């Protein structure tokens, strides 16, 4: 079911059983766009006010909250959920089963592996030198490995690797790589102990 108020550009391929609610824009062109197709997988639900730019390849059973903004040229796997008012910038890789809660910011070149859980208001950064004339030449994406859990209001600095099955406590500021299977928390985030579950 596609709402009459939704705008679907010609470069969009929509799978079976997809719901696109009111005032969504799907396949929105971007500067430098060539013939970039947008693919929305079977069984997806795109909620009201969501904008999805051209060139996104999105798997099956995808869901958004309201007013999600997904920029161009991302790869998004199956069974991914992105919460209300979250922003996904361009050239992001999100693998299967990832849950991104409301008002998260996921910038360019971020990788989220299978089963990651991103809490509300998480801010991932990628600019080593904000406002520098060559800032875009020095962007470093964050890589979050499989089944890592990032608590609410966490900030992760550019280029950080978050280990598999790790847990980042709410409100933490992560300035260094995090090993697999550990719990870290604080500002600056420090290892508290190993994960025991």
pLDDT tens-digit readout, 78-119: 999 999 999 999 999 999 999 999 999 999 999 999 999 999
CATH class of 1-78: mainly beta
Considering the chain, tell me which residue range(s) the CATH 2.160.10.10 domain(s) occupy. Answer: 1-78, 92-197
Give tens-digit pLDDT for 36-86.
999 999 999 999 999 999 999 999 999 999 999 999 999 999 999 999 999
Structure tokens at 95: 């693998």
Which of 129-143, 149-163, 181-195 shows the highest mean pLDDT? 149-163
The CATH H-level superfamily of 92-197 is Hexapeptide repeat proteins (2.160.10.10)
Instruction: Return the SS3 of 138.
Output: helix
Name the pLDDT band for 196 (thresholds 50, 70, 90). confident
With CA atoms as reference, report the closest residue to 180 among 146, 142, 134: 146
pTM for the model: 0.94
Q: Sheet of 12-14: strands edge to edge?
A: 12-14, 38-40, 57-58, 75-76, 93-94, 111-112, 143-144, 161-162
| DSSP structure class, residue 139 | B
Backbone angles phi, psi at 136, to 5 degrees: -65, -20
| Site of tokens 């209300």 | 84
């Amino acid at each position: 079911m596609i709402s009459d108020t939704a705008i679907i550009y010609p470069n969009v391929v929509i799978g079976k059983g997809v719901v696109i609610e009111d005032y969504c824009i799907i396949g929105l062109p971007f500067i430098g766009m060539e013939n970039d197709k947008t693919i929305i997988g079977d069984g997806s639900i795109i909620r009201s006010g969501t904008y999805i730019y051209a060139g996104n390849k999105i798997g099956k059973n995808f869901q958004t909250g309201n007013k999600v903004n997904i920029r161009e040229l991302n790869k998004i796997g199956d069974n991914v959920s992105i919460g209300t008012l979250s922003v996904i910038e361009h050239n992001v890789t999100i693998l299967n089963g990832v849950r991104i809660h409301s008002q998260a910011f996921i910038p360019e070149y971020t990788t989220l592996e299978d089963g990651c859980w991103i809490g509300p208001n998480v801010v991932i950064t990628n600019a080593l030198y904000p406002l520098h004339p060559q800032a875009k030449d020095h962007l470093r994406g964050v890589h979050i490995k499989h089944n890592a859990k990032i608590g609410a209001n966490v900030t992760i600095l550019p280029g950080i690797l978050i280990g598999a099955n790790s847990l980042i406590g709410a409100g933490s500021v992560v300035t260094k790589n995090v090993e697999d299977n550990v719990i870290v928390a604080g500002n600056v985030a420090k290892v508290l102990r190993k994960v025991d579950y």
